[in-house]
Amino acid sequence: MKKTQLELMRQHMVEMQLKRRGIRDKKILDAFAKVPRHRFVNRFQRRFAYEDHPLPIGSGQTISQPYIVALMSEALNLEGGKKVLEIGTGSGYQTAILAEIAGEVFTVENISKLQAQAKGTLDDIGYDNITFIEGDGKKGYSESAPYDAILVTAAAKKIPKDLYEQLEEGGIMVIPLGGMFMQSLYRIEKRDGSYDKHDLGGVRFVPLR
């Protein structure tokens, strides 16, 4: 079957933006090759959906560039059956990538309009392992804790206490930390009531509110 233009663009994204920049996890690469990123932006943005930069999605939010989504996802070291908490549903694209790999995804969003749009898209594509929660991302979702992994898609000044407490012992949190103008992405591994912290590089995210 002949591939569509969008499928070719998606394949090019995987090869040029992810593999060439060091993303190696086959599960991550397969998820990016499958998930239709153009479905998570408006129709006027679709021709740019597979380019290596963020795009606006409304309400002052963006869909992150593909490489950053891949870097964050790979850092979680996910396997099938894992339970993941995502803070900041946004467009739902990162949620879809997580849902392709993890057993269960719980995603928290505090902007009703964005959550409704994301849920509509994800339901339409056919995901049935996602639970949507509207609320304060800094508080997480204690009802289903602990989580094997937590991914935060907005920048905090420090690791939110509630999120740390909801992380399973030995679990991994990926979170941007810093202020408005200087942030780094960190991989936090919970160990014996403390944590190991690894800097994955500079990023720019909206603040965690």
pLDDT at 106 over 80: yes
Average pLDDT taken over every residue of the chain: 94
149-168 pLDDT, tens digit each: 999 999 999 999 999 999 99
144 is catalytic: no
Q: What is the phi-psi region of residue 102: left when phi exceeds 0, alpha when psi lies from -120 to 50, beta otherwise?
A: beta
The reported pTM is: 0.95
Task: Give the Cα-Cα-Cα angle 186, 99, 48 (nearest 5 degrees).
Answer: 75
pLDDT at 2 over 60: no
The one catalytic residue among 59, 64, 91, 112: 64
For residues 32-48, one letter each, b for 16 or more C-beta atoms within 10 angstroms of the residue's C-beta and e for the rest, the string is beebbbbbbbeeeebee
In the chain, where the domains are located: 5-203
Task: Please tell me which residue, 208 or 132, carries the higher pLDDT value.
Answer: 132
Percent of the chain with pLDDT over 70: 99
Tell which CATH classification among 3.40.50.300, 3.40.50.150, 3.40.50.970, 3.30.200.20 matches the domain 5-203.
3.40.50.150
